[in-house]
Amino acid sequence: MSASTVHAPPPSLDPLKFSAQPRPAPAVAFTGPGGRVVNLSQFKGKYVLLNLWAPWCGPCVKELPALAALQKSLPAEHFMVIPVDVGREGQADAQSFLAGHGAGMLQTYVDSNAALLRAFGGYGLPMTALIDPEGNEVARAEGAPAWEKPESVAYMRKLVGG
């Protein structure tokens, strides 16, 4: 299902802008749970909400529990939130930070050399890319949508088919 076959996003998702022409997500690697190298392409087959954040970014920190609530509300077989700490923290620090800020149920990812931010052409945080099951970036948010709002969850559930 694509955004064009789903009703317009609710106002709570206003920062999320859908692309007229989806483009392949960059082929980029970052550090995942247990310190293993993760390639973005490994998540093909499900919708991915790739969220770039840093511990010093107030809006990022505020958004983390909402992302956890969204992940909890949607089926993992169709949808995955991937929060990536681009604040150059280590894996253990990032995991501890997530746990201490209401997002401990999310997996921990780190991009210590800002490869994701550069690859996506991001210039501010938080930055979130919605990637479809084929690996195309279909939408992007600069800033923090209200992911936890019931209308946001309902919209995302319909979009991802869960």
Domain count, the chain: 1
Asked whether residue 80 is assigned to any structural domain, the reply reads yes
Backbone angles phi, psi at 117, to 5 degrees: -60, -45
CATH number at residue 87: 3.40.30.10
What band does 3 get if pLDDT is binned at 50, 70 and 90? Answer: low
Q: Is the pLDDT of residue 2 over 60?
A: no
Strand pairing class (29-31; 37-39): antiparallel
Q: What token pair was written down for 103?
A: 């997002």
Asked whether residue 61 is assigned to any structural domain, the reply reads yes
Q: What token pair was written down for 48?
A: 């991915």
* Whole-number pLDDT of residue 5: 55
* Whole-number pLDDT of residue 153: 97
pLDDT tens for residues 102-137? 999 999 999 988 899 999 998 899 999 999 999 999
Range of the domain at 119: 45-160
* Whole-number pLDDT of residue 146: 96
Give the mean model confidence (pLDDT) for residues 142-152: 96
pLDDT tens for residues 44-76? 999 999 999 999 999 999 999 999 999 999 999
- 0.75 exceeded by pTM: yes
More confident residue, 27 or 88: 27
Q: Which residues contact 21 (CB under 8 A, 6 or more apart)?
A: none
Element at 100 (helix H, strand E): helix 91-100
Mean of all residue pLDDT scores within the chain = 93
* Whole-number pLDDT of residue 88: 79
Rounded Cα–Cα distance for residues 137 and 74 (Å):
19
The arrangement of strands across the sheet holding 109-110 comes to 16-24, 136-142, 127-131, 47-53, 79-85, 109-110, 29-31, 37-39
Q: Is the pLDDT of residue 1 over 60?
A: no
* Whole-number pLDDT of residue 7: 72
Asked whether residue 9 is assigned to any structural domain, the reply reads no
* Whole-number pLDDT of residue 8: 85
Half-sphere exposure of 154 (CA within 13 A, CB side): 9
Give me the amino acid identity at 3. Answer: A
Asked whether residue 89 is assigned to any structural domain, the reply reads yes
* Alpha helix ranges (H) inside 16-90: 58-73
